[in-house]
Amino acid sequence: MTTTQVTLVQIDNYGPWTVTPEPRREMDLQTLQSRLFADIAQFVGHRDAYVFFTRFDNMIAVTNGVDDAAHAALQESIGNRYPVSISLGTAVAERPVDALTSANRRLQTEGSAQDEHRTEVLAGEYLAETTDTDLQIAHFDVVDVTGKYTDQINEFDTFINVERAYASLMHHLREAHGALSFFVGGDNIISVCPDLPERAFTDAVSHVESDVGVELQVGVGTGSSAHEAGFTAKHALEDCRRDGTSVELFGAPAIGD
Ligand SMILES: Nc1nc2c(ncn2[C@@H]2O[C@H](COP(=O)(O)OP(=O)(O)OP(=O)(O)O)[C@@H](O)[C@H]2O)c(=O)[nH]1
């Protein structure tokens, strides 16, 4: 059984800030958002956690093994260095979407994302201990994106194909299994999953191919932290590339072995 600790990162009262005293230059907002993401990624990455940029004003992190003191330190450091502050809600559940919903609710019950008095909320629960099977992470990518898209058609049309595959996959895994999937650049999608069998990934790949005509491959890993699960998933994806298979589970014997 998986146990996912999710942290919702929300910039406090960001909407009003972006237009006060008048609308701010868009590239200044983009710079702030991407630097904030980079800072948070570096902070949690050093603790073997993952963070995904999602909408940038809200980011979703998988923080198994990261305790309340570390969350408080991150919040304090951002507050000291940025013109905005962040609130953090954390929760633990078997299914990633359930952990996120609980984490989110902790902030929602404290007030609105656009309430100037609701700032630097730090509310949550943290895993007391971790085990090697707490997290299952799947790393998907498009089979031969370079040959089929990048070297053939213009960048925007390549982007449309990758985004359509992402939309199809994220909906399918969210509805069927309560998994959370994130586009992470290039042709890569990382899914934080509950404990799923190989069949679920075969079905997901088939679903995307029949839905939007994009062929995916996926490596699946497990671990006590997002880094550990994600890193084994990357190795499993290398097995797909080497063997021409569409699904590989790290450590599972290959069919025919
Ligand atoms: N975030 C992330 N991006 C990656 C990773 N590996 C590759 N990419 C991105 O994906 C793009 C395409 O690389 P590949 O997936 O290796 O290329 P491909 O042509 O699809 O080749 P195959 O995956 O072997 O079918 C690269 O330009 C990178 O932007 C990774 O591990 N993480």
Q: pLDDT digits over 7-40, tens only?
A: 999 999 999 899 999 999 999 999 999 999 999 9
Has residue 15 been placed in a domain? yes
The answer on pLDDT for 256 being more than 50 is: no
Rounded to 5°, the CA angle 226-166-2 comes to: 30
Q: Which ligand 1 atom minimizes the distance to the CA of 143?
A: 25
Best of 52, 166, 187, 217 for a ligand 1 pocket test (most atoms within 8 Å of beta carbon): 187
Identify whether residues 147 and 118 lie together within a single domain.
no
The answer on pLDDT for 179 being more than 50 is: yes
189 lines ligand 1 (CB under 6 A): no
| Closest by Cα among 36, 54, 53, 47 to 5 | 47
DSSP state of 219: E
Has residue 255 been placed in a domain? no
How far is the centre of ligand 1, averaged over its atoms, from the C-alpha of 142 (Å)?
A: 8
Has residue 142 been placed in a domain? yes
**pLDDT at residue 251, rounded to an integer:** 78
Name the average pLDDT for the chain.
95
How far is the centre of ligand 1, averaged over its atoms, from the C-alpha of 11 (Å)?
A: 30
Q: Which ligand 1 atom minimizes the distance to the CA of 186?
A: 29
Place of tokens 């290039």: 186
Identify whether residues 113 and 142 lie together within a single domain.
no
The answer to whether the CB of 241 falls within 8 A of the CB of 257 is: no
Identify whether residues 211 and 233 lie together within a single domain.
yes
Q: Tell which of 124, 145, 161 closes a domain.
A: 124
248 lines ligand 1 (CB under 6 A): no
Q: Which ligand 1 atom minimizes the distance to the CA of 185?
A: 1
The answer on pLDDT for 253 being more than 70 is: no
Structural domain including 175 reads 135-249
Best of 137, 188, 237 for a ligand 1 pocket test (most atoms within 8 Å of beta carbon): 188
Q: pLDDT digits over 81-122, tens only?
A: 999 999 999 999 999 999 999 999 999 998 889 888 889 999
Q: pLDDT digits over 30-81, tens only?
A: 999 999 999 999 999 999 999 999 999 999 999 999 999 999 999 999 999 9
User: What does the block give as tokens for 72?
Assistant: 């408080």
